[in-house]
Amino acid sequence: MTDNIKLDTNIVWAPGFAALADALSHFLTDLSPTKVMVVADFGSHTHCYPLLQQMLPEHGLVVLQGGEHHKDMEALGDILNALANLKADRHSLVINLGGGMVGDVGGMAAAMYMRGIQFLNVPTTLLAMVDASVGGKTGVNFNGIKNLVGSFRLPTMVLISPIWLSTLPEREIKAGLAEMLKHGLIADPVGFAELALAIQALVIPRRPLHELEFAYWIPHSVKIKAAIVAEDFEEIGPRKQLNLGHTVAHALEAEAQKAPITDILHGEAVALGIWVEAILAYRMLTLQREELESIEQACLALVPDQQLEVLIQAHPDDLILTMLMDKKNKDGQIRAVLLRKIGETLIDRPVTIPEMQWAISKAQERAKLMLQNRPKPTDQ
């Protein structure tokens, strides 16, 4: 046995190639699936599939077009079609090789095919490693609304390995770091402070974020998420905390999809969302100014200029219109997760429309200022 570590009942950390091959081989031997179907997108197919392919028996393959725009019913239909064509049965296995997009759609296909078959998540983006692959939320966007259709279904196993990160663009690394900061803000104030410091130490001298000590930070972050999920799988209570920043984030993502606004990654929207919601928490709850400042500094370090513009240019009323459709709401009122302090949240906090308008406008004013003061590429 190699140096694999069990992070939770169905989550394995495989630090290198040999560990990954070993974990996969044990898993396949134990499960002995009748058929195996790999789901990837263009990116994970190019960068990760060639390596995984060597570790697999004969299998089918579906390659989806990547990106949030394609996390839809068509992608779901493509996977279901491929499973039917492969004559997959109830003892077959889906392997989701990719980021959160592949995991969400592939997981949903596995949850629906023959009323549910087993699936293995092999996350290849940082965001999927620490967040999307863990916890059993699957789904697709529908009618312009994020994750409107989906189901809860736990993967049979999640096999996390940092080997995939070497080809992941810096922007995607930052997006994953946003969800990792979120885990710290919810449940681990020391971890938040340390990670924020480690990020600043690389961002300020403009060194690659790939230098972060992922072998420590990924398992650390996964354990926080897994513990919260174990407490409340179907998100009736404490799991709602993981939606910190997401009320605003989902609205920004919907806004960015409207031409001519630019694209925004989920993690970038989350970084901005955490910040805007921290502004709200500073006004409405007990979050302190120094805490707000450290959140602002950590989150905004992860957002490029163009994506800061998405926030600046969005009309608060348009964002609020999307927020009113959020699954977390009740009785047509916006409900957000707000920080009482770093490490402690309040879930289901009603937020009035004027309060939300105020927080967005405040963030927009501040973001404009920060953008003016940011060093331009030619400044160095």
Positions touching ligand NAD (CB under 6 A) are 41-44, 47-48, 66-68, 71, 98-102, 104, 124-125, 127-128, 131-132, 135, 137, 164, 167-168, 172, 175, 265-267
Identify which of residues 287 and 301 has a Cβ nearer to ligand NAD in the complex: 301
Identify which of residues 68 and 78 has a Cβ nearer to ligand NAD in the complex: 68
Identify which of residues 62 and 101 has a Cβ nearer to ligand NAD in the complex: 101
Identify which of residues 35 and 137 has a Cβ nearer to ligand NAD in the complex: 137
We find the least distance from the C-beta atom of residue 339 to ligand NAD, in angstroms, to be 19
Identify which of residues 247 and 294 has a Cβ nearer to ligand NAD in the complex: 247
We find the least distance from the C-beta atom of residue 172 to ligand NAD, in angstroms, to be 5
Q: What is the amino acid identity at position 43? A: G
We find the least distance from the C-beta atom of residue 67 to ligand NAD, in angstroms, to be 6
Identify which of residues 140 and 287 has a Cβ nearer to ligand NAD in the complex: 140
Phi, psi of 168 (to 5 degrees): -80, 130
We find the least distance from the C-beta atom of residue 147 to ligand NAD, in angstroms, to be 6
We find the least distance from the C-beta atom of residue 44 to ligand NAD, in angstroms, to be 4
Identify which of residues 68 and 326 has a Cβ nearer to ligand NAD in the complex: 68
We find the least distance from the C-beta atom of residue 114 to ligand NAD, in angstroms, to be 22
| Residue with tokens 């809860």, as numbered in its chain | 152
Identify which of residues 292 and 336 has a Cβ nearer to ligand NAD in the complex: 336
Q: What is the amino acid identity at position 238? A: P
Identify which of residues 145 and 285 has a Cβ nearer to ligand NAD in the complex: 145
We find the least distance from the C-beta atom of residue 97 to ligand NAD, in angstroms, to be 8
We find the least distance from the C-beta atom of residue 314 to ligand NAD, in angstroms, to be 19
We find the least distance from the C-beta atom of residue 288 to ligand NAD, in angstroms, to be 28
Tokens for 172, please give them. 């995607």
Tokens for 86, please give them. 């492969």
Q: How far apart are CA 241 and CA 258, in angstroms?
A: 28
